[in-house]
Structures are given as structure tokens and as C-alpha cells.
Amino acid sequence: MTLVGFTALCPPLAAQTSSRARVEPVTTAKLGSPPAGSYAPMLARVIPAVVTIRVTTETMASVEIKPDGNPANAPRKIFARSGGSGVIVDAPNGHILTNNHVIDNAVSIEVVLSDGRIMSAKLIGRDIGSDLAVIEVTDRRLPQVAVGNSDKVRVGDVVAAIGNPFGLEGTATLGIVSALMRTEIGHEAFEDFLQIDAVINPGNSGGALVNARGELIGINTATGGRVGNVGIGFAIPINMARTIKAELISKGRMQRGAPGLVVEDLSYERAAELMSGTNRGAVVTGVVPGSPAAAAGIKPGAIVTEISGKPVRGAAEFNTRVFTVPLGSVLPIVIRENGKDTRHLLATAPITLSTTEHRLADDLGGIAGLVVSDIALGNPLYGDLRGSQVVRVPNGTHAASLGLKPGDVIVGLDDNNIRRTDQLLRYVDRAGMSYRLDIVRNGSPGWVRVTR
């Protein structure tokens, strides 16, 4: 199954209500178990704190790149209307939490409350890597959702997803938590999703996932189908979102660091070779000199099994645990060596991680000889853009005649998204005689046609 984030839709104008609607006073209700047979009292408290977000976006149309490296046509601006949902998490400061993809490329943002009020909002900060954003309205007469603890969520817990699917404001759907700690879904760079079966659809992005007491435990973000609902949805845990929200409010962006460990997935063969006593974890393949990890004496071959009290089952979870906390955070890390566990407190420091360069083989035709690499920590694009970055375009290769330049990021091949270099190598090897490479150059989209 291909798992993709859904597209948020702008509510139809006919669904908008008058901004002169009466404003009810904000009250704080005591949270408790829902009465038998109805979640209406709980939803009555939560729904007013879930808003519709309407945005006007400005993007650049993707243009073909000529062999001389210049666009074939002048880039054209595209204006569009779109939107999604948001959750009021801090009424006294007017702060609303939503998804980055809801407000991405926005030139104007409007918020529509359940009582009909329409307000302009400004962007406070956003983080592409986690798909979170904070916007602010000036009116402080707002309801507010109670915030829960996503670390206490269990598989089987009853949850409600609230948002504005297809512009239908205040829609609530019920389900359960289907799974925890879902990573490598392919929606975000850093994933630790709650998986739910409550129905979510286009427009739910940025909406609230609450437990049976009406406490916010997640931000609805993605669904498991390309079109519509297939019974699989994903939400960002609220504990992770709160940490990132605080950084976005104080600094406007997420500043990331690392303890200095380079890791990869622990294979069954490698686990047997290390006699580790565990088959799950992230095996250390390198330690950055002068880093907190080097100072702690951690060596290649060690296995990271836990960070901040949560299990680490592979490299993706390691990255999520490390790169969703602010630079300078101190992380409790469990390391397994020689079958024994040791505990370390490692700070996340400003570190640049090296990447492996790959030269495309001669039998890959149209882009043979091109040198590419992953985007690693320390690269200004890290966490903001995923793909395979062009390092060099050697003279005399066919790749040089395509107009590709160092710094270009290859993000797609025909209908396939490319997030890492290994995907590029695999897709190119399977491609036919002619295909399209989608690239991002200096923040603008472009494409080149490749023939073998």
C-alpha cells in the first residue's frame, strides 16, 4: 500500500456562517468519563476549539529545464484557495496548532470558528520535518481544548477525530487507536504517528484527535489512501507536537542537533554477529569526533535500544527521537553492548553529518556519471526537503547535457516520490527508455526529460 497524506480542502463559501454570530462566554468544563451511550457532552466541549483554516496560496509552476540549465519558460505564479483544520491550544495568546501542509505557501490565512466568527491569522512558525505549524489570531475570546498525555495512549483506546472534511465544519468521527509509534509511512521526515481507524478525509488535516474524556492527544495529519478514507489514519502525538510548538513560538523554527551517532537498522545477521541479545534497535556505524557521544565513549557496533523512555526499533525511530527535540536537549539513551545495557545522558549538539556520495553507474544511461547524496544534518535543507541532492555533474557525461546543476534536489521520477538516494538508484534502474525527473532548485520546482 502506498501511504500518502491527504489534501486539505477549502470549505465551500455556502458553508460559511455570519461573522456577527453571538459569542458565547468561554467556560472550563470538568473532564470525566462520557455518559453511557453518548459522547455528545464531550464533543460539545471540544468542537468549538476546532477551527476551519482557509488559505490563499502562491506557488511557482514547475518548468522544464533546458540543456543549458535555464528554464525553458519564465516561471509562472499559481494562486489557489485551499485549507484544512486547526486546534486552539492557547486561547490567552490566540495560538492555533495545525499542519504545515495546511498553511504551506500561504499569502493570507483566515480562521473560521464554530460560532461563525471569521478572523485573519498570521504565521508564527512552522516545521516541515514534522508537518506542524502555529498560527495566531488577535481575538482572545476563544474556547480552548484540554491537552492530554499521548504517552499514556494505548492500542484500543476510544478516540474521536474532529475537523472540517470537505468543508463540513465540526465533523466528528469515532474509532480506536489501532497502533502506536508508526514510522516510515513516508508522509513526514520525522514520524511517530498514532494510527487510528476513526474516519478522516480531506480537510481533516490539522484537526483534533481526542480521547474519550475530550483531551487532545494528537493532530490529525494523514490517511492511508490516495483518495478518500480506507480505515487507516495517522495523527502526530500531542507530546511531540507540544515540544515543537514551544520552539516554533519562541524561535519561529525548529533548531535541530544530534548526539553524534551515525546509525542504521539492526539486521538479524548483524544482531547475531554482535551477540546482542536483541533483534530490534539502531546499530551505531559511526561516532562524530568531539561529539557528546564520543565523549561518552560510545563505539561503533553499539546498539541504541531506547531514547527518552521509548523503544528504538530502527534508524527511523532513532532519527525521530533525536530530531523532534530542540537543539541542546539532553536525551536519556540506552545502549546495548556485549549483551549488557548502559544508560547515558547525551546532549544534542550542532553537528554536521557526512553523507555517502553515489556515482550513477554507466549502465544507467541518461544520468550515468551523476554524483548524488542524501540530505544530512548540517545541510540547510535538512528536515525541510527530502530527496537526493546533486553533488557533481561531471563534464562529458550525458547527465551534463540535461541541465542539472550541483545543489539540485531530485524529488521524483515520473509518478514516484524520491526521498532518499537509494530510492533514486532503484527507480532509475527500473525506468524505461524515457522518464521525467522532478527537481527543486533554489526552492523552485522544475523538471528534466531523460532518455537512455
**224: CATH:** 2.40.10.120
Contact indicator for 51, 89 with CB cutoff of 8 Å:
no
Q: How far is CA 43 from CA 170, 280, 286, in A?
A: 9, 40, 50
140: pLDDT strictly greater than 50: yes
pLDDT value of position 322: 95
Q: Is the pLDDT of residue 13 over 60?
A: no
pLDDT at residue 158 is higher than 90: yes
- Of the three residues 204, 222, 251, the one that is the final residue of a domain is 251
Same domain assignment for residues 362 and 342? no
What integer pLDDT is reported at residue 165 of this predicted model? 85
On whether both 182 and 221 belong to a single domain, the answer is yes
Question: 292: which 3 cell numbers?
Answer: 557528546
> Residue 447's beta-bridge partner residues?
64, 438
Closest CA to 325 of 252, 238, 247: 247
Mean pLDDT on 421-432: 90
Across the chain, mean pLDDT equals 87
Q: What percent of the chain has pLDDT over 90?
A: 68
Q: 330 and 400 share a domain?
A: no
**For position 203, what pLDDT does the model report?**
86
Contacts of 434 (CB under 8 A, 6+ apart): 449, 450, 451, 452
Q: Is the pLDDT of residue 27 over 70?
A: no
Predicted local distance difference test score (pLDDT) of residue 34: 60
Q: Hunting for cell 564520543 — which residue is that?
A: 294
Are 200 and 318 in the same domain? Answer: no
Backbone Cα Rg of the chain: 23
Checking phi first, is residue 301 left (phi over 0); if not, alpha (psi -120 to 50) or beta? left
353 belongs to a structural domain: no
Do the bridges between strand 146-147 and strand 215-223 make them parallel or antiparallel, or are there none, so unpaired? parallel
395: amino acid identity, one letter: N
- Number of domains into which the chain is organized: 3
What global pTM score does this model have?
0.86
- CB 238, CB 219: distance < 8 Å: yes
86 or 14, which is more confident?
86
The torsion angle over the Cα atoms of residues 81, 83, 88 and 92, rounded to 10 degrees, is: -10
pLDDT given for residue 69 in this prediction: 86
Residues 439-447, mean pLDDT to the nearest whole number: 94
The reply to whether 93 falls in a domain is yes
| Least confident piece of the model among 27-31, 96-100, 197-201, 314-318 | 27-31
Q: Are 48 and 143 in contact (CB under 8 A)?
A: yes
Quote the CA–CA distance of 228 and 243 in Å, as a whole number.
31
| Structural domain harbouring 179 | 44-251
Residue 267: which CATH number? 2.30.42.10
Task: Report CA 307 to chain centroid distance, whole Å.
Answer: 20
CB atoms within 10 A of CB 234: 27
In this structure, the answer to whether residues 273 and 154 fall within a common structural domain is: no
In a domain, 16, yes or no: no
Q: Are residues 204 and 132 in the same domain?
A: yes
> Using an 8 Å Cβ cutoff, are 138 and 121 in contact?
no
Residue 6, pLDDT > 50, answer no
End residue of a domain, out of 193, 226, 251: 251
CB-based burial, 326-357: b 16+ in 10 Å, e otherwise: bbebebebbbbeeeeeeebebbbbebebebee
**Among candidates 164, 269, 140, which has minimal Cα distance to 220?**
164
Give residue-wise pLDDT tens across range 334-352. 999 888 899 999 999 999 9
407 and 312 in one domain? Answer: no
Widest pairwise Cα distance in the chain = 74
pLDDT of residue 185: 78
With beta carbons less than 8 A apart as the criterion, state whether 332 and 343 touch: yes
Residue 20 binned pLDDT confidence (cut-offs 50, 70, 90): very low
pLDDT tens digit sequence for 277-312: 788 899 999 999 999 999 999 999 999 999 999 999
d(CA 378, CA 397): 29
Residue at 135 is within a domain? yes
Residues 321, 205 share a domain: no
Residues 278 and 337 in one domain: yes
Say yes or no to pLDDT of 22 above 80. no
For the ranges 154-158, 286-290, 396-400, which has the lowest average pLDDT?
A: 396-400
Domain contains 23: no
| Residue 36 domain flag | no
Over residues 359-373, the mean pLDDT reads: 85
Region 159-171 average pLDDT: 88
269's enclosing H/E stretch is helix 268-274
Give the residue-averaged pLDDT of 163-174: 87
pLDDT for the residue 228: 56
pLDDT above 90: residue 400:
no
Whether residues 307 and 241 fall in one domain: no
Q: Is residue 53 a part of any domain in this protein?
A: yes
In a domain, 32, yes or no: no
Q: Does the pLDDT value for residue 229 go beyond 70? A: no
Task: Give 253-275 pLDDT, tens digit per residue.
Answer: 999 999 999 999 988 888 888 77
Listed residues 347, 377, 395: the one ending a domain:
347
Catalytic residues: 101, 131, 205
292 shares its domain with 367: no
Same domain, residue pair 396 and 342:
no
